Amino acid sequence: MSATDGGRDPLTGEAPQAVLDEARRWWQTDIIDIHPGEIALRGYPIQELIGNVGFVDTIWLMLRGELPTRAQAALLEAALVASVDHGPQAPSIAIARMATTCGVPVNGAMASAINVLDDIHGGPGEQCMELYLEVDAELEGGGDLDEAARLVVQRHRDAGVRYLPGFGHRFHPLDPRKHPLLALVDDATADGVVTGRFAAIGRAVETAINVGRSKPIPMNVDGVTAVIYCELGFTPQHGRGVFILARSVGILAHTVEQLAQGGRIKGPVPKSIGYTYTGPARRPVPHEREP
């Protein structure tokens, strides 16, 4: 059987061209189109993008499909700058450094590190966006913002949530990234760049959380970047992804620094500290075992 006799594909019994056409639809994308000598991102020829749009513009274009205004890009940029690093006590950074001492190349150290930016270490920003969107949905068709925030906070507490994502920090009594970022959102609101709706929601949630508390639980970096990402129309999944792009910068910087410092198979703590064994005392392997 051959293709030129108008035959059927022996494996599928279909016309070969139909099988081929279907196979070509296996991977589909709106993002990039490539032909020999040609690359276009979201329709824009790469040679026109280079030198004309910024890196943050390109992040936005790739994720959203269109270019941002300069003011939108500036707000996203501030959130990215704020999120690049939180030091070698963070598991992601420590993992990158340890991986490097195991002979892992830069890409591998970054991969092992980025991989742990999961629900607990990389998820609170995304989860806080969902929280704000929940308040936003509560307000559909009108209603009082403070009441909606109070209701949503109560709902999460009733569900057993102890720490609402985006609020409180186990290290910083007041996260130094909160006020400068919130100020930029307020400026952008005044300029009509964003509506300010999510800044208001974030503040209402903060108020609801702190009712009746003597020791405050202020908005943290996740809570304020969640405001920004929501204001700019990103989805929660985007939120986690954009945080990862930012934190990758810190991960890379620590990887390169550890490479320069050297060290081989560097464990988490020095040998002088070690770890505590809490298992059974020495015992012999039984000579006879049950069959």
Tell me whether residue 76 or residue 139 sits nearer to a second copy (CB atom).
Answer: 76
97 binds a second copy (CB under 8 A): yes
Site for a second copy in 41-60 (CB under 8 A): 41-56, 58-59
Whole-number minimum distance, CB 219 to a second copy, in Å? 14
Tell me whether residue 85 or residue 136 sits nearer to a second copy (CB atom).
Answer: 85
Nearest to 124 by CA among 247, 213, 251: 247
Q: Confirm if 122 and 243 have CB atoms less than 8 A apart.
A: yes
Among 63, 133, 151, 217, the residue binding a second copy under the rule CB under 8 A is 63
121 binds a second copy (CB under 8 A): yes
195 binds a second copy (CB under 8 A): no
Site for a second copy in 1-40 (CB under 8 A): 1-7, 9, 11-12, 14-20, 22-34, 36-40
| Amino acid (1-letter code) at residue 202 | G
Tell me whether residue 140 or residue 290 sits nearer to a second copy (CB atom).
Answer: 290
Whole-number minimum distance, CB 231 to a second copy, in Å? 15
In angstroms, rounded to a whole number, what is the distance separating the alpha carbons of residues 104 and 110?
A: 9
Whole-number minimum distance, CB 85 to a second copy, in Å? 5
DSSP 8-state secondary structure symbol assigned to residue 38: E
Nearest to 79 by CA among 196, 205, 226: 226
Strands of 129-259 (E only): list them: none
* CB atoms near residue 71 (< 10 Å): 14
Sign of the dihedral defined by the CA atoms of residues 125, 131, 137, 143, in that order = negative
